[in-house]
Each structure stands twice: as C-alpha cells, then as structure tokens.
Amino acid sequence: MNITDWFLTEDERGNPDSTLSAWSEGNLAEPLIHGSVYFDQLVTEVEALGEGDHLFFTDWRGDPDQKMRDDGPTIRELFCHAAERGVVVKGLVWRSHLDKFAYSEEENRHLGEAIERAGGEVLLDQRVRIGGSHHQKLVVIRHPGAPERDVAFAGGIDLCHSRRDDASHRGDPQAVQMAERYGENPPWHDVQLRVQGPAVGALDTTFRERWNDPASLDMLNPLAWLRDKFSGADMSADPLPDQPPDPPPCGPHAIQVLRTYPDAHFAYDFAPNGERSIARAYNKVVPRAQRLIYVEDQYLWSKRVAKLFAQALNENPDLHLVAVIPRHPDVDGRLELPPNLIGRWQALETCRAASPERVHVFDVENPEGTPVYVHAKVCVIDDVWACVGSDNLNRRSWTHDSELTCALLDTEGEFARDLRLRLLREHLDRADDGSDDRGLADPATAVREIMESAEELERWHASGRRGPRPPGRLRPHKAEQPSLFTRLWAEPVYRLTYDPDGRSYRDRLRGRL
C-alpha cells in the first residue's frame, strides 16, 4: 500500500503556514465507542499526572458538574485536582453564543473559572468566522520525563452533559433536553479516538497553534470584550512550557491529523487563508472507493458533500454506501426543524439518485424502541482508510467551523475493518468477540446482512410488535420530504445559517477547496 494514495501530501494539505507534519507512522490508535468508555479512560490518565506534566484540551462545550463515572469525579474536580497537583492545565473552549440561544457560554465560563482558581488557565475563544464555532474535541496528555506514557484523545465527544452513555443506550443521567421523541434522557451514540505514539506530538502542535495565535480572543464581539475587560477575565494566553519531543513509535498505525479553519474575517497566524484538509482528504479518498463506504454522522445534510458520494457511486458500479444517522434532528419547532430536514432530504436524495439500490441509510434505536441520537463522526472506506473526528459531512464542518479529525491507515490492514465491525456488532446485536460476525467481515455480504436485520426489525414494528423482538437496532431511515412552501423559505435559511460556506469569495468562484 502506497501511503500517498490515501493521505494528503504536504502540498495537498494546502496550508504551508502550519508546522504540522503531513502524517506520522508507528502509532497505536484505539476507538473508544461511547462516552462512558472515553470518560473512564480519561479519568485514569489524568489522575496519573504529576507535577510538571501537561494537560491541554479544546472543547465546544464543557459542563463543570458532568460526572465522568457514576461516583465521580466531575470534569471540574478532575481537571482542578490536576492543576492543584502542579500539572500544567491549559484549555481552549469556544466562547459560544448566549445561553438564551441554547448554547453554552455560561457553562464554558464556569468551567474555566474553576480551573483557573486551581492554578490552570482556560480561555474562552471566539476567534471564529461570524456565525461559526470552535468544534474541536481534543485532550493532550504529556509526560516530559516519560514520553512513552503520552496519550491524546480526539473525536466527537464533548466534556459535557448527555455524552456519558454506554452500549445499552439508556442515555446519560445528566441529560441535555432535545427533541421530545428522544425522551428525558436521550440515548447518545458517539466515538472518540485514543492515540499513542508520534501523532500525539501532532495533536499537541494543533493545540499550541491555536493557543499561541496572536489574534484577540473576542475580537469580533465588542460587547464580550467590554464584559471581560471590566470583569477582569483572562484575555491573553500565558506562555506554554516547551513542547516535548514526539513520543516514540509504539504501533502499526499511520495517522494524518486533519483540520478545518475558515478563511475568516481575520487571519490565523498558522492558517492565514484557512485550512480545509478534512474536505481535501475526503475528496481524495472517496473517489478511490470500490466496494463499501461506511459512515456514521450526525449531519449528513449537505448536497455539496452528497455529490462527492454520488459521483463515486456513478463511477464504481460495485460500490455501496451505508450511512447511519439520527432518526430525528435534535430540535423541534416550526422554525428550527424545517431547515434541518431540508439539508438531510437534499443530501440523501442526491445519493439515491445516483443508485437507489446501492445507497442504504439507517437510524438506530435502543432495545426499548427509543431512537438513539447518532453524534458520531466516523468514515471507513473499503476497510482500508478510516477517520474519527469532530467534523460532520456538511459544508459547515468542511469550510466554516474549526474541526479536528484523525485519518488512519494500518500496516497490518486491521484498524479500519475492526472499527466497522465493532460498530456493526453493536448495531446488529452480535457478539463482541466476533464469534457471530457471519458475513459482516466481507463488505459485499455485510451490506446484505445489515439490510436483512433492519428489514426484519421494521416488519416486527409494522406487525404491532407481535412476538419476540428480533435482534438488531438499525431500522431503514425514512427521510421526510418537506413541502414546496417549506422548501421555499427554509432552504435559504439552511444555506446561510445552518450550513454556511467558510471559504473566501475568490475560492468559491473558482470552485476551490
């Protein structure tokens, strides 16, 4: 396998101002499926940190009282106790819109204030394009005296409420309320990646580039600047300790760190024209797909992204697309819901128009029949290339917000296939040890087994749930087609607000990523 067939080269990344390496080899990566698994491992790693070690994190939202295990600690206690022990704790959290718009400025502020009182430093970061967010979810743990212990976590899981679910999918007891059909404790499906080896250094670099960027933290929000100025908030980043050398090789995985940064109304020092390496990576690997593209995604709702999949389906007659998405958007309401439905309907119809018999879209429910909110951002292509990250399959994630994803290749050829199998075993109620895989290992027969399981469960529901519930949690997804009137008003809102374009007008006119 030629690694440059799948990974972006330095030139293809398109951001010469970053010091990030093109990729690294000799890593060991493990997918952590479910927030409860990730939080448990994070507690173990952070509690082992001592004086002079590093704990760096970026997040979209942080809830101080979120329990990491049933009996604690909370995220505030975990990070504060680390700072009190002399660990260098530094964080960058999105300075989001006001709470009255259902975002998380106050939660993020309170987490940061608690950590700063303990001796750490957390900055509320609004260095984004207007209407955008910092969406990266990253924790970097460094032991300068023992680099073989270094580890990083990157993926889709925030340090906040609703994320600590497990394979039973009964939801996090500390829940964020969502659309009514998800219930009081919305079931939540998500994935984070645990990384060891030289790629930890690349993820450390990603944090440091944002931390050291000289632009004002709230330069686009004069009211926030005034509030912070008069309240004595921390508005400037203190120097970080010197970056340790990359950890030694420890495994068979090549990892490429991919990002999105917009071509913003100001210039990032490390990406003055933005970075769209996530989009560029997909545009490189999707056309290579021959047999199976397997995706799990919260927002598969961009026609621009769907056209890429549709073209691959048109050019490769043996290719199938399997997508696992949420059954319903996370919001209700006459104004909020239609733009969500517009984007999803357009994307799925674009894919199905290419080959309706080779596009298979499913949603998930728990054993009680409550829909599971799919928040994962995972893609596996031909059981060769895989990625886990924070980006969704839409234009916003590919051009507008800050995002972070790790793409992986395995010299032993196992990681991508094993990730797909682990996810499908849960969705189809198969044995965790692989003893019940049957035809799942072969992409061609896997599609048939997925379809048969989902259709059997659908027939059981249609019968009034007579008899024992069949195994499996996937059901065929039924996209709602908005009315013509709804499309007329909701589509412009969707394009401008829900799925904006973060490229410069120059790049848009030239059609350049």
Residue ranges of domains in the chain, CATH in brackets:
25-251 (3.30.870.10), 275-502 (3.30.870.10)
Q: What is the pLDDT of residue 219?
A: 60
Higher pLDDT, 314 or 228: 314
Query: Is residue 27 classed exposed, middle or buried when 0-12, 13-18 and 19+ CB atoms within 10 A define those classes?
Result: buried
Residue 251 has pLDDT above 70, yes or no: yes
Q: Looking at the predicted structure, is the pLDDT value of residue 103 above 50? A: no
Q: What is the pLDDT of residue 98?
A: 42
* For residue 101, pLDDT beyond 50: no
d(CA 247, CA 151): 9
Q: What is the pLDDT of residue 309?
A: 98
pLDDT greater than 60 at residue 97 = no
Q: 320-324 and 359-364: which strand pairing? A: parallel
The yes-or-no verdict on residue 220 having pLDDT over 70 is: no
301 — pLDDT class (breaks 50, 70, 90): confident
Is 31 in contact with 193 (CB distance < 8 Å)?
Answer: yes
pLDDT tier at 211, thresholds 50, 70, 90: very high
Q: Which of 139-153, 223-237, 328-342 has the lowest mean pLDDT?
A: 223-237
Q: Supply the pLDDT for residue 365.
A: 98
Residues in CB range of 419: below 8 A, 6 or more apart: 31, 378, 380, 386, 388
Residue 323 pLDDT: 98
pLDDT of residue 173: 96
Mean pLDDT of the chain: 93
428 band by pLDDT with thresholds 50, 70 and 90:
very high
Give kind and range of the element (H or E) at residue 286: none
pLDDT tens track for 28-77:
999 999 999 999 999 999 999 999 999 999 999 999 999 999 999 999 99
Whole-number pLDDT of residue 99: 42
Stretch 209-213: mean pLDDT: 97
Which pLDDT band holds residue 239 (cuts at 50, 70, 90)?
very high
Q: How far apart are CA 423 and CA 474, in angstroms?
A: 11
The more confidently predicted of residues 401 and 97 is 401
Model confidence band, residue 108 (pLDDT cutoffs 50, 70, 90):
low
pLDDT digits (tens, 9 = 90+) for 154-179: 999 999 999 999 999 999 999 999 99
How confident is the model at residue 233, as a pLDDT? 65
Q: What is the mean pLDDT of residues 410-427?
A: 96
Alpha-carbon torsion 41, 21, 5, 155, what sign? positive
Question: Of 29-43, 215-229, 418-432, which gets the smallest average pLDDT?
Answer: 215-229
Give the model's confidence band at 104: pLDDT under 50 very low, under 70 low, under 90 confident, else very high.
Answer: low
CB crowding 120-159: b at 16 or more within 10 Å, else e: bbbbbbbbbbeebbbbbbbbbbbbeeebeebbbbbbbbbb
pLDDT band at 246 (very low <50, low <70, confident <90, very high): very high
Compute φ and ψ for 378, nearest 5 degrees.
-130, 140
Distance, in Å, from the CA atom of 206 to the CA atom of 388, rounded to the nearest integer, reads 16
- Residue 14 in this model has a pLDDT that exceeds 60: yes
